[in-house]
């Protein structure tokens, strides 16, 4: 039998709406809270930081959200992305399972992040924003925002975690090529940055500090707004284009997934591929399993608690109901920088609480082993983040083999690893290690947030 390797969706079949799962959820996510009033977050609370259209979308309860024409036109540069049958991986594992992956690595910046960067830049443009600020860790989100802002004629300032700024000069060059200004965070251009540099001389920065700097600039000027690359609801909505396309492509292939897998950082990548399929569990009684692959060094679903917590380490954001390790939890410096985040967005967290999402944690060495096998049999070097999803897909395919079951597995290849070869190089030279988070460290950080829970 001839296997169709790549299932291509025609441009005119590309979805025209994003999906918001909230109306279909059994238990709605708890509201995020304004930490000053401890009352549910309003559009007005969000507007000093985000553009009004985004603030409204963040609180939307509409099931389907129209993709604006200008966003759709930019999506067409790289979308629809291919759905690929991982026939090489199936053969290597000798599994009866059918494995498919959605290939988001074909995006011009090499990852799924552009799916939300484009609409975020667009809404800011129509709302009259002139300057955008954002933070970036590994550089994927900053690269994506750079492309999107340049397209809409918005000026972009990126606060890049200092250690990444120094270790990944080419990521910075990517952002510069697209016309963005990049600062090593903590920088001396913001008050909080200067304070951090004084307080912690020689600090290598953190995502929390970078967020604080970007937010400070946004709050200070009415024409400057902040953008975030994951965690929040509107980011999840934008990423559902991934799952909605995959659903159509699987239909072309005459298939439907028994298991959907994606790596979990803040949740937008996972939610983006999972939620469109989860709708059928909620609405039509389907029994698909959804597995969030998280690094063992940052195991929020598998070992965290469901509490209200801040989205950043400094406590500037609203209080979000989430599975969290505590906002002070500092994950070991594994190479999947995009997954080093203490909490999962509120929608994903509620769905996990209600049993619709399973977490599986994966050790670093298992992820690189999976990444190298995948490279060799499918030809694509995956991003270190995406290797987590591959590792879990391999586990499930081997389980299907053991059980002699012909399961259909779908995972998201959220990005390629061509800009992250340093980590592969280290792995091949035996310089990477596994890391088990001590329970005491989780307990300590989780206990700290008891004080900020609503009474």
| Residue whose CB is less far from a second copy, 117 or 228 | 117
254 binds a second copy (CB under 8 A): no
What is the nearest approach in angstroms of a second copy to the Cβ of residue 104? 12
Shortest separation between residue 113's beta carbon and a second copy, angstroms: 13
Binding status of residue 383 toward a second copy by CB under 8 A: no
Q: Which of residues 265-284 bind a second copy (CB under 8 A)?
A: none
Nearer to a second copy, 177 or 333 (CB): 177
Question: What mask of x and - would describe binding to a second copy in positions 83 to 122, judged by CB under 8 A?
Answer: -x---x-----------------x-xxx---x--------
Binding status of residue 174 toward a second copy by CB under 8 A: yes
Integer Cα distance of 138 and 340 in angstroms: 10
For the sheet with 319-324, list strands across it: 39-40, 33-34, 319-324, 305-310
CB of 12 to a second copy, least distance (A): 9
Cβ closer to a second copy: 117 or 352? 117
Find the distance separating the first CA and the last CA of the chain, reported in whole Å: 62
Asked whether 219 and 316 are in contact (CB, 8 A), the reply is no
Report the residue from 33, 93, 145, 147 that binds a second copy according to the rule CB under 8 A: 147
Nearest CB to a second copy, comparing residues 156 and 259: 156
Query: C-beta of 420: minimal distance to a second copy in Å?
Result: 9
Q: Shortest distance, CB of residue 107 to a second copy, whole angstroms?
A: 9
| 43 binds a second copy, rule: CB under 8 A | no
Q: Which is nearer to a second copy, 225 or 416 (CB)?
A: 416
Q: Would you count residue 372 as binding a second copy (CB under 8 A)?
A: yes
Report, in Å, the least distance between residue 309 CB and a second copy: 35
Integer Rg of the chain from CA:
21
Shortest spacing between CB 66 and a second copy, in angstroms? 17
Residue 39 within binding range of a second copy, rule CB under 8 A: no
Task: List the interface residues with a second copy, window 408-447 (CB under 8 A).
Answer: 416, 418-419, 421-422, 424-425, 428
Contact segment (CB under 8 A) with a second copy among 72-80, 280-288, 348-356, 392-400 equals 72-80
The sign of the CA dihedral 311, 315, 320, 325 is positive
Is 16 a binder of a second copy (CB under 8 A)?
no
Site string for a second copy, 187-226 (x = CB under 8 A): ----------------------------------------
Q: Which of 351, 291, 287, 288 is nearest to 322 (CA)?
A: 351
The window from 15-23, 167-175, 332-340, 391-399 that contacts a second copy (CB under 8 A) reads: 167-175
Residues touching a second copy, count (CB under 8 A): 48
Exactly one of 170, 287, 438, 455 binds a second copy (CB under 8 A); which one? 170
Residue 167 found at the interface with a second copy (CB under 8 A): no
Q: Examine residue 80 and say whether the peptide bond preceding it is cis (omega within 30 degrees of 0).
A: yes
Is the backbone peptide bond immediately before 326 cis, with ω within 30 degrees of 0?
A: no
Minimum distance from CB of 88 to a second copy (Å)? 8
Binding a second copy by CB under 8 A: which of 173, 220, 283, 443?
A: 173
Q: Which residues contact 337 (CB under 8 A, 6 or more apart)?
A: 137, 138, 164, 384, 385
Choice from 33, 55, 74, 334 touching a second copy (CB under 8 A): 74
Using rule CB under 8 A, residue 179 touches a second copy: yes
Q: Is 178 in the site for a second copy (CB under 8 A)?
A: yes
Residue 387 Cβ vs a second copy, minimum distance, rounded to whole Å: 11
Binding site for a second copy (CB under 8 A): 4-6, 8, 10-11, 73-74, 76-78, 84, 88, 106, 108-110, 114, 147, 150-151, 169-174, 176-179, 371-372, 375-381, 416, 418-419, 421-422, 424-425, 428
């Amino acid at each position: 039998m001839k296997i169709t390797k790549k299932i291509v969706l025609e441009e005119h079949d590309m979805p025209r709406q994003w999906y918001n799962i909230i109306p279909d959820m059994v238990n709605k996510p708890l509201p995020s809270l304004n930490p000053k009033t401890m009352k549910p977050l309003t559009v007005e609370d969000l507007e000093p930081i985000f553009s009004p259209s985004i603030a409204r979308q963040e609180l939307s309860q509409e099931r389907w959200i129209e993709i604006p024409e200008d966003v759709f036109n930019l999506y067409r540069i790289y979308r629809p992305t291919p759905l690929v049958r991982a026939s090489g991986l199936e053969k290597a594992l000798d599994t009866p399972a059918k494995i498919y992956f959605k290939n988001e690595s074909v995006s011009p910046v090499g990852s799924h992040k552009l799916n939300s960067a484009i609409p975020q830049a667009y809404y800011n443009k129509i709302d009259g924003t002139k300057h955008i600020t954002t933070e970036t860790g590994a550089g994927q989100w900053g690269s994506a925002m750079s492309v999107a802002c340049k397209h809409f004629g918005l000026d972009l300032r990126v606060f890049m975690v200092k250690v990444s700024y120094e270790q990944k000069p080419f990521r910075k060059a990517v952002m510069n090529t697209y016309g963005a200004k990049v600062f090593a965070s903590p920088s001396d251009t913001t008050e909080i940055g200067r304070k951090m540099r004084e307080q912690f001389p020689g600090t290598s920065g953190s995502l929390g500090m970078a967020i604080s700097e970007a937010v400070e600039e946004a709050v200070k000027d009415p024409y400057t707004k902040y953008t975030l690359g994951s965690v929040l609801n509107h980011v999840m909505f934008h990423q559902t284009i991934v799952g909605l396309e995959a659903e159509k492509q699987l239909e072309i292939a005459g298939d439907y997934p028994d298991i959907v897998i994606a790596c979990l950082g803040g949740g937008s990548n996972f939610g983006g591929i999972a939620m469109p399929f989860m709708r059928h569990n909620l609405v039509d009684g389907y029994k698909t399993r959804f597995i969030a692959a998280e690094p063992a060094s940052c195991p929020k679903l598998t070992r965290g608690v469901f509490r209200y917590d801040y989205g950043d380490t400094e406590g500037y954001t609203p209080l979000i109901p989430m599975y969290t390790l505590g906002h002070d939890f500092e994950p070991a410096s594994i190479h999947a920088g995009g997954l080093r985040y203490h909490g999962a967005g509120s929608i994903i967290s509620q769905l996990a609480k209600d049993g619709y999402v399973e977490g599986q944690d994966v050790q670093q060495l298992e992820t690189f082993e999976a990444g190298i096998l995948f490279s060799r049999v499918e030809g694509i070097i995956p991003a270190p983040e995406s290797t987590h999803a591959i590792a879990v897909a391999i586990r499930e395919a081997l389980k299907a083999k053991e059980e002699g079951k012909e399961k259909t597995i779908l995972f998201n290849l959220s990005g390629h690893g061509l800009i992250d070869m340093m980590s592969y190089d280290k792995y091949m030279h035996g310089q990477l290690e596994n890391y088990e988070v001590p329970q005491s460290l989780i307990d300590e950080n989780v206990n700290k947030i008891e004080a900020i829970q609503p009474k």
